[in-house]
Amino acid sequence: MAFSRAKSIAYARQYWDRPCHDGVFWLTDEEVNVVHKRKQLHAPAADGWEARFIPHVDKAGVSEELAFIRPSMAGKSIPKMGGLWEVISVQGWDGLADCAHYLSLCLQAGGTNIFSLRVGELVQKLQARSDTITMAERVPKDRAQQVIDTGVFKPGDMIGYFNVDPKGGDYGRRNSYTHSTMFVGKLNAAGGADLKDPGRITCHTMSRFGHDFWNDAWWLHDTYNYTLIHLSADDASASPAAMKLLNGWWRIEVAGRKEYHHYSRGRIARLTMYEPKSANEPAKSTQDSGHWWELSGTRLVTIWRKSGVVVEWSVKDATSSTQSVTVAGIRGMAARLF
């Protein structure tokens, strides 16, 4: 079954601030069953109790907890939720780790058969699939933003957060994947597209959906590098004209630097610093690989996986052996070799 972005996003919209439909949420190494907690804490749904992830503010700062809540004139105010609520705490911030579980079920709702409770394992499983493309892997925020700004990275695609905080960061685990989210697009306050918006995400721990609650941009903190995984089943096929234009060897000159790109079937691209001597020569000492997309009849983009660098092609004459390009925002020139 093809991946449905609409169904995946609809599931996320329904469950972003509450336990998923399977009735459990996960701690670092333990499953918590909501039905059992209802019985234990005397919070039946029939009496109006809802299981929700809610903001928690104390002297340590802002975090999150899982609680049963219901409206009550004698209750307390919950930050960002409005009104007064009666609250039965179920699980505080320490130990909450539901992001991979939540994202797995969002992907399943869209038709992707995948499941993992560990972020690193979820990233690996997604990367191993034939219907995904890792656009950028462990790249810094500015490079990932350039990829997102192409528009090829779509709502329903996944972001893995690789912790590089020298002080330990998430769970004290530096140099490992410690969080995962789903991209929901560039949104304004009314829910429409906004090119100035860097992009928003949905996740559990802490619970987010677009601009709701925390209004966080997709990168969350500057303590990560980012892996952008694109579900590619609904990508439009490149036109014969675009394939005829790109396929083969090109010399790219930008800011006094020369590099050589080879484009082949499957929209596959490879980058080397060694000049090829013939049309059939394979890329020597490949420095990076990636894919390319046709955004319009005059605009193509190449995205390099290791570096996250975006090459934009501005095509005025598809028959010309030279083309204008920008590499990471710097203007350059491409010349066909073979």
Query: 277: Cβ–Cβ under 8 A, 6 or more apart, which residues?
Result: none
Query: 9: Cβ–Cβ under 8 A, 6 or more apart, which residues?
Result: 106, 110, 155, 156, 182, 184, 202
Q: pLDDT truncated to tens, each residue of the chain (338 aa)?
A: 689 999 999 999 999 999 999 999 999 989 999 999 999 999 999 999 999 999 998 888 889 999 999 999 999 999 989 999 999 999 999 999 999 999 999 999 999 999 999 999 999 999 999 999 999 999 999 999 999 999 999 999 999 999 998 776 776 677 899 999 999 999 876 666 676 899 999 999 999 999 888 889 999 998 999 999 999 999 999 999 999 999 999 999 999 999 999 999 999 999 999 999 999 999 999 999 999 999 998 999 999 999 999 999 999 999 999 999 999 999 999 999 99
Distance CA 197, CA 331 (A): 24
Query: 43: Cβ–Cβ under 8 A, 6 or more apart, which residues?
Result: 37, 49, 68, 88
Assign 34 to helix, strand or coil: helix
Task: Output DSSP code: residue 197.
Answer: S
pTM for the whole structure? 0.95
Neighbours of 141 (CB within 10 A): 18
Q: Which domains does the chain have, with CATH numbers?
A: 29-91 (no CATH), 117-231 (no CATH), 240-336 (2.40.128)
